[in-house]
Structure formats: C-alpha cells, structure tokens
Amino acid sequence: MSGCLDIKGLSAVLPNGARVLRSVSLTVQPGEVRALVGESGAGKSMIGKALLGVLPPIVRIVDGSIALEGVDLGGLSPKKRRTMIGEKTALIPQDPLTALNPSRRVGPQMTDRLTKILGWESARADARIRQLLDEVRIRDPDRVMRAYPHELSGGMRQRVLIAAAFAAEPRLIVADEPTTALDVTVQKQILRLIADMQRERGTAILFITHDLGVVAKISQNVSVLYAGKVVEEADTEALFAAPGHAYTKALMLATPSYTDPLASLKPVDEAVLAGLASEIALADRDWDALHG
C-alpha cells in the first residue's frame, strides 16, 4: 500500500562529492504526524526541500524516488511535478519573519498561493483565507490581512503561516522547525493548533525538529537522522519507552529535563560517535559498491 508520502532510497550529493543524504527511506501515511529528528547538518531540511522540489541547485539527487499519494514525482514532467507539489503539499517554515515579504501586506501574500499557483478567483481566495484566519483564532482578520509582517508578534505571524499552509487543503504539510523561534508558552499554543487542524482534516505532516520534547508530544512516528542517514525508525511511544539506537538514547540523555535534572544534559559519549562513524562508513561502502 502506498502512503501519502513515500521516499525510497533517496541519496544526494554536493558537487565536491560530499554525501548529504544516504539512502533515506521514509513513509508518511495519510493523517499521520511523522517526526524527522536530528541535529543541525543531519539533512532534515534537505529531505523536506527535496520533496517540495526546492533543493538548492548544488545538491544533486543521485538515487531513489519520492512519491506523493502513489505518484512518482520523478516520472512527471517538470511542469506537472510543480503543479502536483503545489496542490498536494504546503510548508510551515521555521522563521515566519523571513518567510514573509516585509514590504507587502500579509493578506495578499496569503492569497497569492491560491490565486497565482492554484488559479483560484481572488474573491474565493480572500474568503478562504478569512475563514482560515478565524480557525487559527485570529480575532481580527481584517486588521491582520492589512498589516505588514513587522506589525504582528512572533506567535501571530506563525498563526498566519499555519493558516496559509492549510488554506488549499494540502494532503501533506512539511513543518520545518515551526516553533523553534517561539517562547515555550506560545510554542505549546502553536503545536496544539497544528495538531487540532491536522486531526480535523486528516492532513499528513512531516514534522522536522531537533527537539525530542516536541517529538514526544506531537508525533505518532519518528525517524532519527544522523549525517543524512536514518539510524532509527519507530513509533513514538516505543522510541521513548526503549530507544533502539545508541545515538537516540544519547540524544535523549542530552535533552534537558526539569523532572530529572541530573540524568539530563549528558554530552554524547565518544563511543556512540565512534559507532556512528563506522555505521556511516559501512553505508558508504555499500554506496560505492552500488555506484562504482
């Protein structure tokens, strides 16, 4: 059975031959929230960008496939692929301030996607955005749509982008560290909002984060990424009950926790890093055998 998103054996390199993704496979079922967790440089955002078709030009995919609802994106013409990605997916970015154009009002930026990419009439797009702003609990949609990004608070801007992401009823949303820049209390509100809207509509979410605390609260399944390789995959409950990979366990012990402070903030053990290095070397040997 095919999922909402199926990534199979995805490998990517930089021009100097450095490997950024090492045969990554992951599936997101309809209505599922899958967390993609890893440290900076692990390739989390690269996977999100690959499936949204916005990889930086220097990153070259050398192997593997990405399918949305069973349709292999590699088999489509560039134009068809863009349309398909535009219709079925959306992005909630990390930093709403850089994602929004500072010199344009918020409203037109939100309707743009609907009118310009999906060809909606502007009245319909306008009505939909208003409805979504109401859903993300923005009490004064008219004021917000007329506002410039800097006139809104961080939490408010993130609400605006969540509304925009859900506006065209995508099947899959890539949420790329959507709460990293927010205070804890606002983070909780935003996470809850994303979860509520996702459950109501059955939208699948690929939730990219470095925070295992967030993973534990929002996802049903997890893929742990290290150096562009999925080192562990599990359902969230099982992962936190008994992490299978030494690296996952080390990440958990490094994560601060106020309930058990002395057992938290432990630096990752040298032995774990050495184990990871040999695992990556092994993966690279398989790669070389395959690609010569």
How far apart are alpha carbons 16 and 13 in whole angstroms? Answer: 8
User: Which span (12-20, 104-112, 181-189, 275-283) binds another protein, by CB under 8 A?
Assistant: 181-189
Residue 26 β-bridge partners:
7
Q: Is 188 one of the binding residues for another protein (CB under 8 A)?
A: yes
**Which residues in the 262-291 window bind another protein by CB under 8 A?**
262, 264-268
Under a CB-based contact definition with an 8 Å cutoff, are residues 160 and 134 in contact? no
3 state DSSP class of 133: helix
Q: Is 92 one of the binding residues for another protein (CB under 8 A)?
A: no
Minimum CB separation of residue 255 from another protein in Å reads 5
Question: Within a 10 A sphere around the Cβ of 71, how many other Cβ atoms?
Answer: 16
Q: Is 195 one of the binding residues for another protein (CB under 8 A)?
A: yes
Residue 5 β-bridge partners:
28, 68
Q: Which of 119, 259, 289, 292 binds another protein (CB under 8 A)?
A: 259
Q: Which of 55, 252, 284, 287 binds another protein (CB under 8 A)?
A: 252
Q: Is 184 one of the binding residues for another protein (CB under 8 A)?
A: yes
Radius of gyration of the chain (CA): 20
Question: DSSP secondary structure string, 84-103?
Answer: HHHHHEEEE-S-HHHHS-TT
Q: Which of 52, 250, 276, 283 binds another protein (CB under 8 A)?
A: 250
Instruction: Point out which residues bind another protein (CB under 8 A).
Output: 39-40, 154, 183-188, 191-192, 195, 210-218, 220, 236-237, 239-241, 250-252, 254-259, 261-262, 264-268
